[in-house]
Chain A
Amino acid sequence: MLAIETFALEKSYSVGFWRKRRVAGLKPLNLSVEAGEVFGYLGPNGAGKTTTLKLLMGLIFPSGGSARILEMAIADPRMKSQIGFLPEQPFFYDYLTAAELLDYYARLSGVPARERTKRVQTALARVGISQSARTQLRKLSKGMLQRVGIAQAVLHDPKVVFLDEPMSGLDPLGRREVRDLIQSLKEEGKTVFFSTHILSDAEALCDRVAILHKGELRGVGAVNELTARTESKVEILFQGVQGVTLLSALGAECHATGEMVRAIIPENRQDEALEALRRLGLRLISLTPVRATLEDYFIERLKKDEKAEKVEVGR
């Protein structure tokens, strides 16, 4: 079963004084997310991640296309009782306490009155802020507010959870806890769709990721599938800074510390590099294959796109 489907979903805005010029916030997006998946939605700032989430939440209206969540239209109120959403940098009613806020959201989500108190306590405990249940939100730190935000997103036991930059504003410990929470949601069989620009988080958590750039989907797939598409590299560690010029000419990225040099070079230039070091009589310390990360894929992909755009403009 598909948890999320989009069919040429797009959003454009009118800009300028007469509002005649159209700017694309999201170009036609076709995407599907399986139920039970942890799906990472990646892209640099301004890529269109938040626009997509706002469209799926019904906060803005699409300029074209459509979307379905749990096989229901996005405007269907029945669907909305089965999803949870954490916006980016959430702001809540700061005159309420954490427990009051969650109770309010539970009422809006249709949680029966007899279950509300228990659900609120469970949600607060899940994000580790039970001790602040009776504190007004205006007295909580940014990290604590982010936890309240996560609590409100999972409070009503939704089937699909949308998180917009959930690690934003959290310290390393908080980020670790959010990662554990996403993992536990997956273990409960929930679908998690989260946007981030912190690639290591996505790499650690996601079954699949989609990469968005300038409002356009540039790649989608399992993390290892995507990283396999990147150029393989090796790390060569050697002694002798005089080898830097030669290896740089072969396309290596060199970092020297004293006499010690660390060079990252494409795998297909490995033999040439070793031959050059031998010729110069430099001492080889180690040769290690480098595992491609999602970040490598991401940067490579963006560079390719930018190069293609420049060629297009040149024509």
Chain B
Amino acid sequence: MSRISAVASNTFREAVRDRVLYNLIFFALLLVGAALLFGQISIGIQRIVLVNLGLSAISVFGVVIAIFIGIGLVSKEMEKKTLYTILSRPVQRWEFIVGKFGGLAWTLVVNTLCMAIGFFAALYLLARHFERADGYLVVAIYFIILEFVVVTAVALLFSTFSSPVLSAVMALALFVIGTFAEDLRAFAAMSHGAMRVFATLAAYVVPNFASLNVISSVAHGQPVAASLVVYNTVYSLFYAAAALCGAILVFEYRNLK
């Protein structure tokens, strides 16, 4: 356990000392600020615009961080040979993978919390008070964190067997397809024959990010069902665990260059 936490805390430290990360957080906060501006010129729907833009900014920038750091988590260590001095110690390969995942997931949680503080500050500046429906925004942010957990695990999986560029393309493609997972399921239901089988299979294999996106409904003050919270939590954790197991399986048998 101490070895996993050592790898995780080093991954966190690496991300924190990476200037690119600060640029991304800066732009995300800038976008939240811009949402405030857009809100002020959108008479009557200021709150809706602010929530939509603000939460979308948190989500998009978090996914970009998850993918662009996640894809290098293992491949960069192999390429730069920093793994040599780690795996020659009593560190199991699976411990390294779990530690790396934990470190990046924790980085994303901390980033999201920072951006969420900025978002709620902007919301308070606009409305000068918080209301009961704002509680659902916390649930939406929780879903965004779940989304990051899944994206991180998928990017890490790709990172174990592919180059960073190809991993980025695959992770990004999977994220886009997963965002339209509901449409893919609807398409599968309408299809026939081999296409139906293929589309159904694809719809269940790609992560269902559509179900994790409740930004639009919470922007309109609609509540989030408790069952959805439970379903999304279980689904995301299982999906991330499966991707992580895949990453471990690939990495366990990999010869380092």
Task: Kindly state whether residue A7 has any CB partner on chain B within 8 Å.
Answer: no
Residues of chain A within 8 A of B14, CB atoms compared: 93, 95
Q: Is the CB of B82 within 8 A of A108?
A: no
Q: Is the CB of B88 within 8 A of A80?
A: yes
Q: Is the CB of B89 within 8 A of A109?
A: yes
User: CA of A93 to CA of B14 in the docked complex: distance in angstroms?
Assistant: 8
In angstroms, how far is the closest chain B Cβ from the Cβ of A258? 51
Task: Kindly state whether residue A83 has any CB partner on chain B within 8 Å.
Answer: yes
Task: Kindly state whether residue B253 has any CB partner on chain A within 8 Å.
Answer: yes
Q: Is the CB of A87 within 8 A of B85?
A: yes
Q: Is the CB of A85 within 8 A of B3?
A: no
Those of A70-114 within 8 Å (CB) of chain B: 77-78, 80-81, 83, 85, 87, 89-93, 95-96, 104-105, 107-110
User: CA of A96 to CA of B83 in the docked complex: distance in angstroms?
Assistant: 15
User: CA of A80 to CA of B84 in the docked complex: distance in angstroms?
Assistant: 12
Task: Kindly state whether residue B128 has any CB partner on chain A within 8 Å.
Answer: no
* Known contacts A95-B13, A108-B6; A80 and B81 CB within 8 A of each other: no
Q: Is the CB of B85 within 8 A of A152?
A: yes
* Known contacts A54-B256, A104-B6, A104-B10; A91 and B82 CB within 8 A of each other: yes
Task: Kindly state whether residue A189 has any CB partner on chain B within 8 Å.
Answer: no
Q: Is the CB of B82 within 8 A of A93?
A: yes
Q: Which residues of A contact B (CB under 8 A)?
A: 54, 57-61, 77-78, 80-81, 83, 85, 87, 89-93, 95-96, 104-105, 107-110, 149, 152, 162
Residues of chain A within 8 A of B44, CB atoms compared: none
User: CA of A162 to CA of B88 in the docked complex: distance in angstroms?
Assistant: 10
Residue tally, chain B, CB below 8 Å to A = 25
Which residue of A is nearest B83, CB measured?
A59
Residues of chain B within 8 A of A77, CB atoms compared: 90-92
Which residue of B is nearest A108, CB measured?
B89
Residues of chain A within 8 A of B2, CB atoms compared: 107, 110
* Known contacts A104-B10, A107-B3, A108-B6; A59 and B85 CB within 8 A of each other: no
Q: Is the CB of B84 within 8 A of A58?
A: no
Q: Is the CB of B87 within 8 A of A57?
A: yes
In angstroms, how far is the closest chain A Cβ from the Cβ of B168? 21
Q: Is the CB of B89 within 8 A of A81?
A: yes
Which residue, A59, A78, A110, A152, has most C-beta atoms of chain B within 10 A?
Answer: A59
User: CA of A89 to CA of B81 in the docked complex: distance in angstroms?
Assistant: 9
In angstroms, how far is the closest chain B Cβ from the Cβ of A159? 14
23 A–B contact pairs at CB < 8 A? A57-B84, A57-B88, A59-B87, A60-B256, A77-B92, A80-B88, A83-B88, A85-B84, A85-B88, A87-B84, A91-B82, A93-B14, A93-B82, A95-B14, A96-B10, A104-B10, A105-B89, A107-B3, A108-B86, A108-B89, A109-B90, A110-B2, A162-B88
Task: Kindly state whether residue B227 has any CB partner on chain A within 8 Å.
Answer: no
Task: Kindly state whether residue B17 has any CB partner on chain A within 8 Å.
Answer: yes
Task: Kindly state whether residue B255 has any CB partner on chain A within 8 Å.
Answer: yes
Task: Kindly state whether residue B132 has any CB partner on chain A within 8 Å.
Answer: no
Residues of chain A within 8 A of B89, CB atoms compared: 80-81, 105, 108-109
Q: Is the CB of A92 within 8 A of B255?
A: no
Q: Is the CB of A60 within 8 A of B17?
A: no
Q: Is the CB of A90 within 8 A of B13?
A: no
Q: Interface code B129-168, partner A: CB below 8 Å = 1, 0 otherwise?
A: 0000000000000000000000000000000000000000
Q: Is the CB of A90 within 8 A of B88?
A: no
Q: Is the CB of B3 within 8 A of A108?
A: yes
User: CA of A84 to CA of B256 in the docked complex: distance in angstroms?
Assistant: 18
Residues of chain B within 8 A of A90, CB atoms compared: 81, 84-85
In angstroms, how far is the closest chain B Cβ from the Cβ of A271? 56
In angstroms, how far is the closest chain B Cβ from the Cβ of A12? 11
10 smallest A-B Cβ distances: which pairs? A85-B88, A107-B6, A77-B90, A60-B255, A57-B88, A80-B90, A87-B84, A95-B17, A59-B256, A81-B90
Those of B175-212 within 8 Å (CB) of chain A: none
Q: Is the CB of A91 within 8 A of B3?
A: no
Those of B81-133 within 8 Å (CB) of chain A: 81-92
User: CA of A243 to CA of B82 in the docked complex: distance in angstroms?
Assistant: 58
Residues of chain A within 8 A of B86, CB atoms compared: 108
Which residue of A is nearest B96, CB measured?
A108
Residues of chain B within 8 A of A162, CB atoms compared: 88
